[in-house]
Chains A and B, each alone.
Chain A
Amino acid sequence: MSALLSVRDLRVGFATEGGLLQAVDGVSFDLAAGEVLAIVGESGSGKSVTAQTILGLTRSPNARIEGSARLDETDLLAADDETMRTTRGDRVAMVFQDPMTSFNPVYRIGAQIGEAIRAHRRDVSRKEARERAVELLDSVGISDAARRVDSYPHEFSGGMRQRAMIAMALALEPEVLIADEPTTALDVTVQAQILQLIEQLNRERGLATILITHDLGVVAETADRVLVMYAGRVVEEGTLEEIFYDPQHPYTWGLLGSLTRLDRERPERLPQIGGAPPSLLDLPAGCSFRPRCSYAFDRCGELPSLDARLPDAPGHLDRCWLDLETKRERRPT
């Protein structure tokens, strides 16, 4: 599979009063058409900054951005502002956690979708844009779209706003959709519908999707491949099956282990990861997870590279010094 979007050694640092904050430290991945790549991590892991940087949204005088993000021949990190303006929406679109903040409360939903179309396609008339908005709302499962197109954002429920935002993101038929915690603010019954919609768009339109989430349940339901991030770095990367059934990094073990699962008997006590994520301004030397890791040993003072460590899985990468035997033996099931 050839990559549609190819990110190489992405580094994003911000100059702060407390020194340089390295929010993203060497992230690489490929995304193919029709694929869903999940980026999993907690707050401060760098998952959202990675996505925002690809879209040129973190550019500022105090940001230091290195690496490349190629969409075909265009390096999005090096492209000028004008190129980025046309790329955003047209080729790469983004959906955020809170749809209320993405719509202007004083304009009708349809007018905003129409505006997004006309900003990129000058030859589209108002009337055509409105018709297109109705089609789009209908395609994301909003019933009675011809009437609802004239609603204001506050007249929509949370789930409908999220659908409308996806409709707006799809307005220009982008090749890549970046969804940053698209269902976190929604009720689970609505979440299930939105995830199903994203999956359908992938299948039917070959839309490539980066799904940013902290929820491993959401990942299991939708992703093809997974990046697990911790303190600005990828600590494990693999297919959905590799991450869930053969996880290699103790942080991934911890995340999977601490879930409260309805499909299993409940444990007497919930397995927990001790401590808290480190400050990005004061990272421990070597592996960032070392202070919280119950398997840490001398060598962890040295930063492990992200490598394929399993003989039969060249695409399954991790950053952990433990040898395979020890991992298989000590990994919780």
Chain B
Amino acid sequence: MTAEPLLKVTDLVKHFPVKRELLFDREIDQVRAVDGVSFEVRKGETLGLVGESGSGKSTLCRAVLQLTEPTSGSVRFEGREIAGLSRREMRPLRREMQMIFQDPYASLNPRKRIGQIVGEPLRLQGVARGSELRGQVRELLDRVGLSAEHYDRFPHEFSGGQRQRIGIARALALRPKLIFADEPVSALDVSIRAQIVNLLDDLQAEFGLTYVFVAHDIGVVRHVSDRIAVMHDGKIVEEGPADRVCEQPRDAYTKTLLAAVPIPDPHEARARRQTVGPG
């Protein structure tokens, strides 16, 4: 642990004002979506961020990536402070940090062909163009399990799992160091989920990627993560090695969360119901 973490977040806060309009907008309260969060992500590891709806996990991602301006706190990427950087100053850094979304369909422009969608980051950042760009896009499509013949198709022609592969190819295009995956498999069918989880695994090994994997499903988070941070009410209530957090949770909320996850084993499920009792 001597090396500098790839990402170091310290005391990050994001409050949203609650306004009431009389004659002027008056701030009457604040929603503390992210309320003083600190964590580190080391190169090559996966940090799982787990929490229920309203826990602030998505806002945290957006605040770290400067997609929304943090109220206060520090975000260091490779040692450099990025909190409060302007859009122009962030632009070169966007190559290093990418995001994968829950609903790949909502994040793909329906009127663009797959080749354009995947190639767009390369074009915007001026990395490649013309036949070189097309070549790189074909290679990316191949890498995520799609084929070159998909190049000229539109998003609606693909299944949910394939669309998530497209989203992953686009996120990979600029060879980022850090990828934030926000509920990347929760909208997918069970039989497709494992495929995408394994694909993310393979890509991490191949490209030395670092992931922040955000999800409400602690089972999936435990499978992919080296360390897990549990979020509740805008705060990280527990953090530790994935197996330790799941097997010996220390925080009361983590315990509640784990106890609520259904066990896909009828005997064990019944045994737990009898020992824990209702509630």
Residues of A within 8 A of B265 (CB): 220, 244, 261, 263
A274 within 8 A of B: yes
Contact call B198/A269, Cβ cutoff below 8 A: yes
CB distance from A292 to the nearest CB of B (A): 8
Interface size on B, residues (CB 8 A): 42
A266-B242, A272-B198 known, 8 other contacts, Cβ within 8 Å: A42-B191, A189-B257, A219-B264, A220-B265, A221-B263, A244-B265, A261-B265, A276-B161
Please provide the chain B residues from 158 to 178 with a CB less than 8 Å away from any CB of chain A in the complex. Answer: 159-162
B191 touches A215 (CB 8 A): no
Task: Pick the interface stretch among B61-69, B86-94, B218-226.
Answer: B218-226
Asked whether B201 lies within 8 Å of A244 as measured between CB atoms, the reply is: no
Does A259 lie at the interface of the complex (its beta carbon under 8 Å from any beta carbon of B)? yes
- Bound: A192/B52 CA distance, A: 13
Q: Is the CB of B263 within 8 A of A217?
A: yes
Cβ contacts under 8 Å, B266 to chain A? 220, 240-241, 244-245
- Beyond A256-B264, A263-B263, A276-B161, is A270–B192 a contact (Cβ under 8 Å)? no
* Smallest Cβ-Cβ distance to B278: which chain A residue: A196
* CB of B148 closer than 8 Å to a CB of A: no
Residues of the A chain whose Cβ atoms lie less than 8 Å from the Cβ of B242: 266
| B216 interfacial contact with A, CB 8 Å | yes
Give Cα distance in the complex from A266 to B198, angstroms.
13
In the assembled complex, 30 residue pairs joining A and B whose CB atoms fall closer than 8 Å, in A order, are: A42-B190, A188-B52, A188-B262, A189-B52, A192-B260, A192-B262, A196-B278, A196-B279, A215-B190, A216-B264, A217-B264, A220-B263, A245-B266, A255-B190, A255-B191, A258-B193, A259-B264, A261-B219, A261-B264, A263-B265, A266-B222, A269-B198, A269-B201, A270-B223, A272-B191, A272-B194, A274-B195, A276-B159, A276-B191, A292-B191
Partner-B contacts on A (CB < 8 A): 42-43, 158, 187-189, 191-193, 195-196, 214-221, 240-241, 244-245, 254-256, 258-263, 266, 269-274, 276-277, 292
Check A270–B190 contact: CB distance below 8 A. no
CB–CB A187/B264 < 8 A: no
Alpha-carbon distance A241/B190, docked complex (angstroms): 21
Contact with A along B243-279 (1 / 0, CB 8 A): 1001000000000111111111110110001000011
Complex contact B189–A42 (CB within 8 A): yes
B191–A258 touching, CB < 8 Å: yes
- B197 contacts A by Cβ under 8 Å: yes
Contact partner of A258 (CB less than 8 A), chosen from B194, B259, B268, is B194
B:82-120 near A, CB below 8 Å: none
Asked whether A266 lies within 8 Å of B223 as measured between CB atoms, the reply is yes
Tell me the complex Cα distance, A192–B279, Å. 8
In the bound complex, how far is the Cα of B107 from the Cα of A295, in angstroms? 37
C-alpha spacing A72/B159, complex, angstroms: 41
Chain B residues whose C-beta falls within 8 Å of the C-beta of A292 in the assembled complex: 191
Closest to A223 in B: B266
State in angstroms the CA–CA spacing of A268 and B213 once bound together. 17
B263 touching A262, Cβ below 8 Å: yes
A328 nearest CB across to chain B (Å): 20
Q: Which of B192-234 contact A (CB under 8 A)?
A: 192-195, 197-198, 201, 216-220, 222-223
Establish whether residues A214 and B192, one from each chain, have CB atoms under 8 Å apart when the complex forms: no
In the complex, the answer to whether B219 meets A260 with C-beta atoms within 8 Å is yes
Q: What A residues does B262 contact at CB under 8 A?
A: 188, 191-192, 195, 215, 217-218, 220-221
**Judging by beta carbons under 8 Å apart, are B192 and A276 in contact?**
yes
| In the complex, B125 has a CB within 8 A of chain A | no
Q: Decide yes or no: A220 and B269 within 8 Å by CB, A187-B52, A215-B262, A269-B201 being known contacts.
A: yes
Which of chain B's residues have a CB closer than 8 A to the CB of A272? 191, 194-195, 198
Bound: A111/B136 CA distance, A: 60
Report the minimal beta-carbon distance from B251 to chain A, rounded to whole angstroms.
14
- Counting CB contacts under 8 A, is B30 at the interface? no
Q: Report which of A43, A158, A187 forms a contact with B189, defined as CB distance below 8 A.
A: A43
Cα distance A256–B266 in the bound complex, in angstroms: 12
- In the complex, which of the residues A158, A220, A260 has the most CB atoms of chain B within 10 Å of its own CB atom? A260
How many whole Å from B218's CB to the nearest CB in chain A?
7
With A266-B222, A270-B223 as known contacts, state yes or no: A214 contacts B263, CB within 8 Å. no
